């Protein structure tokens, strides 16, 4: 339909035929671009070539949408902000989040991509009696997905620029301004589920998303119809009631968010976190569409089970360097060692692992971070026993930090 000839648009003729009686309207958009050597590019053909190429470079689904403003999303983001339902990890400037033209000059389309990731590990860890392990959510198995998607987007950019050097392109994954889900939904990658995830009919919701804003007027694809129907399984499965209604999350209550904070975890959530050291998958594992969906298309996204399900006690003793060496390549390490260490302490309390008491006492007495010391105090109280009790009493006499003192008090209260 659209035809680019050469490098620069010198004429644009929108011709409108309108017949009042039969309301018959035909728009003909004629773009003529001229370049020195008369080279021409057919946009529909380029789209077809891109779709074909995307498969060759390991993109599991690709969709195209306009670069129009995301009007409905804007209202939703404002509402979420008013309710304090946001996580704080999102781009704070709402206008930038919904207006592609603020991110790229004269954008004409957005290309959305999805990469499927496994829901089951190929190699399970050998469970030994008494060894307690934590769990990273599936989105943090294998190589950090930001690298995997950026690699594909870079290749797509190169492919486009080789054919259209004048094209303007801007790619992003997760940390960019746009809502990856809103783009994917509008580009027909999947529907927006009641669990808030983009659900593809092919791969379920176990897909990472990324996008590229372009100056090329690709023909947009059609969004997929919502297929949640009357199901509410994800809402029922959410341990903290973070899904306040279908498609709306209070991120402040979401375990995935809580595991990524650097502060104390509020009391009401500590036991609900269980052994999750990063992220949460409950609203996805409960989803019937995800049943049986387990795709192992990409070697780099395969889990190293000893990292994805790590032993808990050793995490308490890791130096920053050792932490980076072991966990530095997975997405879940982006906030550093401390949140993972805090979550490991909570997980040891969840298991009431008495063998962890000496390590927890060590944290309580010698760790620099008040959050780790305080959480260890709470965990010692939860696990209980004489050794834990006397360690708490000793710490009560020496501890200077008021928040840690309050956690020691909590720990001791479990004995009363
Ligand atoms: C902040 C953030 C979080 C926060 C908040 C999550 C949330 N639901 O908003 C926290 C830390 C909790 C989080 C958790 C997770 N996240 Co996250 N997160 C993001 C981030 C950076 C921004 C999301 C955002 O802006 N949210 C604000 C809400 C309001 O908008 P939205 O969800 O983006 O868009 C939808 C809504 O606005 C909705 N909507 C708009 N208007 C209206 C109106 C009505 C009436 C309704 C019902 C809905 C609706 O439609 C949009 C499209 O679905 C994105 C990356 C990015 N840049 O977009 C990743 C992203 C959403 N996260 C992702 C993942 C994988 C997760 C986890 C599964 C990780 C895990 N296993 O722990 C969980 C899932 C939690 C959940 N149920 O959502 C993926 C999602 C992939 C997918 N298939 O959907 C993303 C896209 C990262 C990526 N590039 O792959 N995340
Ligand atoms: S990720 Fe976990 S806590 Fe967050 S909404 Fe889903 S089930 Fe609830
Ligand atoms: S569990 Fe049911 S309601 Fe929730 S996202 Fe899946 S299909 Fe939709």
Question: What DSSP string runs through 340-381?
Answer: HHHHHHHHHHHTT-GGGHHHHHHHHHH-S-HHHHHHHHHHHH
For 19, the domain range is: 1-38
Verify that 75 and 22 share a domain, yes or no. no
Instruction: Give the atom of ligand 3 at the shortest distance from the alpha carbon of 197.
Output: 5
The pLDDT mean for the chain works out to 92
Q: Which of the four pLDDT bands, split at 50, 70 and 90, describes residue 37?
A: very low
Verify that 133 and 64 share a domain, yes or no. yes
Instruction: Give the atom of ligand 1 at the shortest distance from the alpha carbon of 173.
Output: 89
Answer yes or no: is 395 within a domain: no
Verify that 25 and 78 share a domain, yes or no. no
In whole angstroms, what is the distance from residue 189 CA to residue 385 CA? Answer: 53
Q: Are 159 and 54 in contact (CB under 8 A)?
A: no
Answer yes or no: is 225 within a domain: yes
Show which of 277, 311, 345 is a domain's final residue.
Answer: 311
Verify that 203 and 282 share a domain, yes or no. yes
Pocket test for ligand 1, best of 83, 91, 103, 256 (most atoms within 8 A of CB): 256
Tokens of 285: 């594992």
Q: Which of the four pLDDT bands, split at 50, 70 and 90, describes residue 350?
A: very high
Q: Are 84 and 252 in contact (CB under 8 A)?
A: yes
Kind of pairing between the strands at 3-5 and 40-42: antiparallel
Verify that 247 and 101 share a domain, yes or no. yes
pLDDT at 125: 87
The secondary element (H helix, E strand) that includes residue 34 is strand 24-34
Closest residue by Cα to atom 8, ligand 2, is 238
Give residue 232 CA to ligand 3 midpoint distance, Å: 6
Answer yes or no: is 217 within a domain: yes
Verify that 163 and 32 share a domain, yes or no. no
Per-residue pLDDT, averaged over 353-374, amounts to 98
Closest CA relative to residue 351, chosen from 237, 273, 268: 273
Answer yes or no: is 414 within a domain: no
> What percent of the chain shows pLDDT beyond 90?
88
Verify that 179 and 139 share a domain, yes or no. yes
Strand partners, 110: 65, 213
Q: Is 286 in the pocket of ligand 3 (CB under 6 A)?
A: yes
The secondary element (H helix, E strand) that includes residue 53 is helix 43-56
Residues labelled as active-site residues: 174
Verify that 30 and 168 share a domain, yes or no. no
pLDDT at 40: 65
383 vs 37, residue with greater confidence? 383
Give the total number of structural domains in the chain: 2
Phi, psi of 339 (to 5 degrees): -60, -40
Per-residue pLDDT, averaged over 343-368, amounts to 98
Verify that 127 and 17 share a domain, yes or no. no
Span 57-101, pLDDT tens digits: 999 999 999 999 999 999 999 999 999 999 999 999 999 999 999
Answer yes or no: is 163 within a domain: yes
Verify that 23 and 56 share a domain, yes or no. no
Q: Is 174 in the pocket of ligand 1 (CB under 6 A)?
A: yes
Phi-psi sector, 279: left (phi>0), alpha (psi -120 to 50), beta:
left
Give residue 191 CA to ligand 3 midpoint distance, Å: 11
Show which of 311, 334, 356 is a domain's final residue.
Answer: 311
Give residue 345 CA to ligand 2 midpoint distance, Å: 21
> What percent of the chain shows pLDDT beyond 70?
90
Give residue 41 CA to ligand 3 midpoint distance, Å: 42
Q: Is 289 in the pocket of ligand 3 (CB under 6 A)?
A: yes
Verify that 157 and 21 share a domain, yes or no. no
Verify that 236 and 289 share a domain, yes or no. yes
Q: Which of the four pLDDT bands, split at 50, 70 and 90, describes residue 381?
A: very high
pLDDT at 35: 40
187 vs 2, residue with greater confidence? 187
pLDDT at 127: 79
Answer yes or no: is 380 within a domain: no
Answer yes or no: is 355 within a domain: no
């Amino acid at each position: 339909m659209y035809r680019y000839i050469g490098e620069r648009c010198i004429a644009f003729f929108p011709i409108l035929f309108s017949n009042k009686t039969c309301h018959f309207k035909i728009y003909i958009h004629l773009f003529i671009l001229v370049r020195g050597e008369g080279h021409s590019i057919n946009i529909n053909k380029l789209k077809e070539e891109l779709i074909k190429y995307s498969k060759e470079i390991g993109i599991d689904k690709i969709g195209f949408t306009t670069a129009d403003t995301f009007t409905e999303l804007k209202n939703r983001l404002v509402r979420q902000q008013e309710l304090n339902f946001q996580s704080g990890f999102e781009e704070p400037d709402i206008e930038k989040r919904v207006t592609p033209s603020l991110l790229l000059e004269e954008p004409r389309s957005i290309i959305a991509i999805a990469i499927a990731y496994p829901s089951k590990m190929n190699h399970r860890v050998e469970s030994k009696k008494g060894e307690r392990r934590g769990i990273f959510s599936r989105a943090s198995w294998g190589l950090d997905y930001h690298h995997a998607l950026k690699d594909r987007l870079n290749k797509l950019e190169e492919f486009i620029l080789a054919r259209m050097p004048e094209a303007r392109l801007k790619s992003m994954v997760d940390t960019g301004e746009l809502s990856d889900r809103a783009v994917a939904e509008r580009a027909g990658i999947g529907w927006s589920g009641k669990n808030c995830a983009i659900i593809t009919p092919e791969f379920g919701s176990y897909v990472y998303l990324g996008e590229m804003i372009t100056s090329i007027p690709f023909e947009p694809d059609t969004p997929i119809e919502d297929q949640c129907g009357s199901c509410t399984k994800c809402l029922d499965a959410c341990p903290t009631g973070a899904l306040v209604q279908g498609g709306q999350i209070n991120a402040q209550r979401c375990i995935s968010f809580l595991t990524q904070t650097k502060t104390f975890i509020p009391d009401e959530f500590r036991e609900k976190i269980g052994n999750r050291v990063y992220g949460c998958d409950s609203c996805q594992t409960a989803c019937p569409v995800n049943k049986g969906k387990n795709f192992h298309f990409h070697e780099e996204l395969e889990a190293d089970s000893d990292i994805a399900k790590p032993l808990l006690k050793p995490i308490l003793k890791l130096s920053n360097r050792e932490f980076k060496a072991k966990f530095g390549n997975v997405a879940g390490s982006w906030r550093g060692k401390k949140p993972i260490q805090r979550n490991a302490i909570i997980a040891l309390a969840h298991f009431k692992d008495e063998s962890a008491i000496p390590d927890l006492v060590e944290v309580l007495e010698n760790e620099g971070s008040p959050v780790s010391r305080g959480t260890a105090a709470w965990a010692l109280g939860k696990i209980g026993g004489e050794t834990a009790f006397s360690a708490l009493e000793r710490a009560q006499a020496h501890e200077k930090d008021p928040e840690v003192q309050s956690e020691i008090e909590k720990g001791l209260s479990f004995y009363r």
